[in-house]
Structure 1
Amino acid sequence: MNDDWLGKTVSISCGSLGHYQGVIKAVHLEGQTITLKDVFQNGKPCKMPSLTLSANSIEDINFLEVKSSDMAKKSGTPSTSTVMKRKSRPVAENLASAAATKLKTTQPARFSPAIQAVLAGQGSNAYNRGSPRKSWMEGNGEHRVPNRRERERMRDEECFQEINEVEMSEEFDFESNLALFDKRLVLEEISDNIAANQPDVVRLVDCNKRKPEAKYRNDENVLMSVPAQYRPIETGEEPPPGEYVTDSGLIVPAISIELRNTLEAKLKEHGISAERMTELMARSAVELAIHLFGGAHRLNPSNNHQVPLVVILVGPNRAGVFGLATARHLDSQGVRTAAYLPDVPHYPAHVAQELNLYKLSSGKVCTKTESLPQGPVDLVINAMEDHDMWMQERQQPWLKAAQKWILKACPRVNVMALDPPHSPDEALLPTKICLVPGLPLWQGDQFNASAAKIYSANMAIPKKLYQAPLGKM
């Protein structure tokens, strides 16, 4: 007799324990218990597959008659339907069948019971959203115009009514269906359609088969103009020592030390003195220094808490003159400067002249490394080595002391070298930027392997003067 209750849907009230609904799975008369499956507790699905209730906790029990479709929804087992795959057809047949598809009748839309009751009226008695002033029939046969609230309610019921569509048991697999797409086959069909002279496909393919156009950068001229000259300076030196290439593609020829000395002597004859070249070199060095220590915003008067500090290592030579002039220009910009020089009884005349000018500024002059800043430094300018005496200068105690200071006090600081010597050996300090006056000297392959970048200061030398030392002007 226990089997007569199996499969029945019941609703059991257990008082404070809650309300349960489900299908009877088993009845135990000896233990006075009942086991339910597909259980709903207080209207929510239960996480457990089955639930056993004692007869002592049951206050009321009712048997329910549930349709098979409703049971499928409650049990979470959706019904399935077989979807037939449509046979693949060429593109032309799909386009041709598009018009015939529009002529097929569609399934009438489902409306709410209120809307169906309204539409049950014949002809002009039916509610028409486009013409709300037409007569509307109520259930008692009275004709009147629906008010605004009724029209809104009927609209909401039509829009948000429950649609009982057939649920799919499996989700659509996009990856597997995408794998079924044969791109080569589609392209062959398009090619066949082109051969068949079908205009609807030919127009699309012709647009895609346009010849590729040339692409231009946003700063490139698209109009035809004079060809660019990537070699603006010709020295005529044979054989040429080497060439450098800028970021924009310009070719800068390198010169030998002999041609450089001859060129400077020729410049003095035309009025370009060493003092003028020193000032131009110092201005170029200041522009690079401002870029290296963070930009011009650090020189803003409101940024007194972060005034940059630059240390200039000066030697008693031509590079030292460039260094002292650079320190003087930086001090005029509001930069804190400290110049380190060797402690010698007498300096060369051109070095002493620049030193006297620098002492008139607010910069600091040091002859010992102990007087140099021991804290963070924004930039170090190396102007200690000369082209002729660099081997002897590297053996001097003052130069070794400066090298030891920078490697100990600020090993990660940016270093800018002013007119470094033509040396086959490694650089004295790890240099990031080298600034040279005019055309650079060829530093060889060892210099190219380093991380330093060469910047050429524009000394405003006429192009024809580069040919003068060789007698070609």
Structure 2
Amino acid sequence: MMTSFPVYGVQDLVELMAEEWLGYLVSLDCGVTLGVYQGEVSAVDQDRQTISLRQPLHNGVRCLVSEVTFSVIDIRELKILEIGNGRGIGSDPSSSSSSSHSRNGGHAVTGCPPVMLLRRGCHESQVMWRRAEMENITGGHRESFMTDTDVDLRGNLPAFNKRLTLTSNDPVTAAQREEKKYYTDSGLIVSSVSYDVYKRLLAAAERLGLSVERRLEMTGVCAGQMALMLLGGPYRLTPKNVHRRPQVVLLCGPHIQGAQGVSCGRHLANHEVDVIVFLPNCVKMQETVTTELMLFNQTSGRHVQNIRDLPVTPVDLVINCLDSHESIFLGEQPWYQAAADWANQNRAPVLSVDPPISGHHHAVEARWCLCLGLPLPLSQGEGRVYLCDIGLPQQVFHDVGIDYVSPFGSRFVIPLY
């Protein structure tokens, strides 16, 4: 009788993070936004609470990056596919009668059963046991995507022919490009753009009818979706789990980035998250901020204007929308400094939405950042980079002179490396 795969939740991972994981073949369920990753554990950092996979697969497809690192908070569930000594996914069930053991709350876990892999067109009786393969089950049939040979990242990227570039005859000068290359988990190159080019994109979008209000709403939905994923997604936010709602604080300034934060807060409140929006009572407040705040006040969320009204205990997530691309002197305001100090002292993980380009002072240290449409050249202090689709039509990129291929596929939020 086959033993079922050992499965760990987030709390188990925090307790069991140790070097004993090295060499294990695991499957990491990172929720709807990030998907499922599989690979061999290559590193475990107990201090930073991270785990790295070597030669990873994403949703069954081999990644072109050789290693991916995950924070524990990104992982919803970990399933062991193979114990470190080789017993498990690649072993013939009759080849050994011995059992491997793994830590599972102090209990021994026997060796995992091998996985049955079927190629397209094969009958179920044609079973293959291969150590280097994993399965991706889609549409009722099973396919194996992993090959025995390693993937050469640099050598294979040109074959994709999907690079996001600025065309050679476009009006954007080399000085304006300030390119920083990012990669998607499928190997697609996404080049950053300067803030000047980014402003031209938004202006072109408005001329075509994609108003600021529409863009705000799309940003709020995408940021809210990412926040829900970071909070635990369906594993924590269910109608039956109402005894302790996750608590999120949004730090917002009196500008368009602050309005995006308030919009995000409204969507989170609509999904039963305990939301607190900090927005100071400024003399000069953009109309979009006022409008979003009026909508937010119709939810169960709370709006506070003083830092003293924020929680003194750690919250589940802080979303930073204090910074503006235009107002570089905001950091000198007392309310800004007080909000940044509170965020850094609260010890909650921070998601920064639409952060300014590198060179700006970042008062709040973020674990993740979410860029809109196209990434800007960000500093290292902004944490792990994600990109969201804010609905810019293809014509917008054409008008600005960008040869654009969407990197999003079936998702609205994707990680960049």
Distance 1:472 1:334 in 2: 41
Q: Is the contact made by 1:327 and 1:358 (CA closer than 8 Å) also made in structure 2?
A: yes
Gap change, CA 1:472 and 1:454, over 3 Å in 2: closer
Gap change, CA 1:467 and 1:221, over 3 Å in 2: farther
Distance 2:337 2:402 in 1: 43
What residue is the counterpart of 1:50 in the other structure?
A: none
2:189 pairs with one of 251, 271, 292:
251
Distance 1:309 1:230 in 2: 43
Distance 2:261 2:382 in 1: 22
Map 1:337-352; keep pairs closer than 5 Å: 337-352=275-290
Q: Could you give the per-residue CA deviations for residues 171-221 of structure 1, whole angstroms, max 9, x where no partner exists? A: xxxxxxxxxxxxxxxxxxxxxxxxxxxxxxxxxxxxxxxxxx9x7664528
Gap change, CA 1:229 and 1:276, over 3 Å in 2: farther
2:396 maps to 1:465: yes
2:348 maps to 1:399: no
Distance 1:346 1:430 in 2: 27
2:178 maps to 1:241: yes
Q: Is the contact made by 2:220 and 2:267 (CA closer than 8 Å) also made in structure 1?
A: yes
2:312 maps to 1:374: yes
What residue is the counterpart of 2:116 in the other structure?
A: none
Offset of 1:430 from its aligned partner?
A: 1.4
Offset of 1:340 from its aligned partner?
A: 0.5
* Equivalent AA in structure 2 for residue 353 of structure 1: T
TM-score with structure 2 setting the length: 0.56
Offset of 1:456 from its aligned partner?
A: 0.9
Distance 1:340 1:355 in 2: 11
Task: Give the number of the structure whose alpha-carbon radius of gyration is greater.
Answer: 1
Offset of 1:423 from its aligned partner?
A: 3.5
Q: Could you give the per-residue CA deviations for residues 208-261 of structure 1, whole angstroms, max 9, x where no partner exists? A: xxxxx9x76645288xxxx96353533334434222112221100111111111
Distance 2:244 2:191 in 1: 40
Q: Is the contact made by 2:352 and 2:382 (CA closer than 8 Å) also made in structure 1?
A: no
Distance 1:312 1:471 in 2: 33
Q: Is the contact made by 2:192 and 2:374 (CA closer than 8 Å) also made in structure 1?
A: yes
2:226 pairs with one of 268, 272, 288:
288
Q: Is the contact made by 1:311 and 1:380 (CA closer than 8 Å) also made in structure 2?
A: yes
Distance 1:228 1:296 in 2: 37
Question: What is the CA RMSD across the aligned residues, in angstroms?
Answer: 2.6
Q: Is the contact made by 2:213 and 2:288 (CA closer than 8 Å) also made in structure 1?
A: no
2:352 pairs with one of 414, 417, 423:
417
What residue is the counterpart of 2:236 in the other structure?
A: 298
Distance 2:301 2:182 in 1: 36
Aligned residue for 1:406, secondary structure, equals helix
Higher mean displacement: 350-359 or 230-239? 230-239
2:257 maps to 1:319: yes
State the percentage of identical aligned residues.
31
Offset of 1:419 from its aligned partner?
A: 0.5
Aligned residue for 2:400, secondary structure, equals helix
What residue is the counterpart of 2:385 in the other structure?
A: 454
Gap change, CA 1:247 and 1:336, over 3 Å in 2: same
Q: Is the contact made by 1:292 and 1:414 (CA closer than 8 Å) also made in structure 2?
A: no
Q: Is the contact made by 2:165 and 2:402 (CA closer than 8 Å) also made in structure 1?
A: no
2:373 maps to 1:438: yes
Q: Which runs of 4+ in 1 moved over 4 A?
A: 215-219
Offset of 1:286 from its aligned partner?
A: 1.2
Q: Could you give the per-residue CA deviations for residues 9-29 of structure 1, whole angstroms, max 9, x where no partner exists? A: xxxxxxxxxxxxxxxxxxxxx
Aligned residue pairs: how many? 250
Map 1:67-466; keep pairs closer than 5 Å: 218=135, 220=145, 229=160, 231-236=162-167, 237-239=172-174, 240-242=177-179, 243-390=181-328, 392-408=329-345, 410-411=346-347, 413-443=348-378, 447-448=379-380, 450=381, 452-466=383-397
Q: Could you give the per-residue CA deviations for residues 21-53 of structure 1, whole angstroms, max 9, x where no partner exists? A: xxxxxxxxxxxxxxxxxxxxxxxxxxxxxxxxx
* Equivalent AA in structure 2 for residue 269 of structure 1: R
Q: Is the contact made by 1:324 and 1:354 (CA closer than 8 Å) also made in structure 2?
A: yes
Offset of 1:346 from its aligned partner?
A: 4.6
* Equivalent AA in structure 1 for residue 339 of structure 2: A
What residue is the counterpart of 2:54 in the other structure?
A: none
Distance 1:367 1:282 in 2: 21
Distance 1:418 1:371 in 2: 23
Unaligned runs of 5+ in 2: 1-129, 136-143, 148-157, 405-417
What residue is the counterpart of 1:185 in the other structure?
A: none
* Equivalent AA in structure 1 for residue 255 of structure 2: N
Q: Could you give the per-residue CA deviations for residues 316-372 of structure 1, whole angstroms, max 9, x where no partner exists? A: 011101100000000111101000011224521111111111111111111111111
Aligned residue for 1:252, secondary structure, equals strand
* Equivalent AA in structure 1 for residue 342 of structure 2: W
* Equivalent AA in structure 2 for residue 288 of structure 1: M
Q: Is the contact made by 2:164 and 2:403 (CA closer than 8 Å) also made in structure 1?
A: no
Distance 2:321 2:263 in 1: 11
Offset of 1:283 from its aligned partner?
A: 1.2
Distance 1:221 1:372 in 2: 49
Gap change, CA 1:461 and 1:425, over 3 Å in 2: closer
Aligned residue for 1:306, secondary structure, equals coil
Offset of 1:404 from its aligned partner?
A: 1.8
Aligned residue for 1:467, secondary structure, equals helix
Distance 2:403 2:241 in 1: 54
- The structure that is strand-richer by fraction is 2
Q: Is the contact made by 1:234 and 1:466 (CA closer than 8 Å) also made in structure 2?
A: no
Q: Is the contact made by 1:298 and 1:306 (CA closer than 8 Å) also made in structure 2?
A: no
Q: Is the contact made by 1:235 and 1:467 (CA closer than 8 Å) also made in structure 2?
A: no
* Equivalent AA in structure 2 for residue 402 of structure 1: A
* Equivalent AA in structure 2 for residue 323 of structure 1: G
Unaligned runs of 5+ in 1: 1-212
Distance 2:297 2:245 in 1: 20
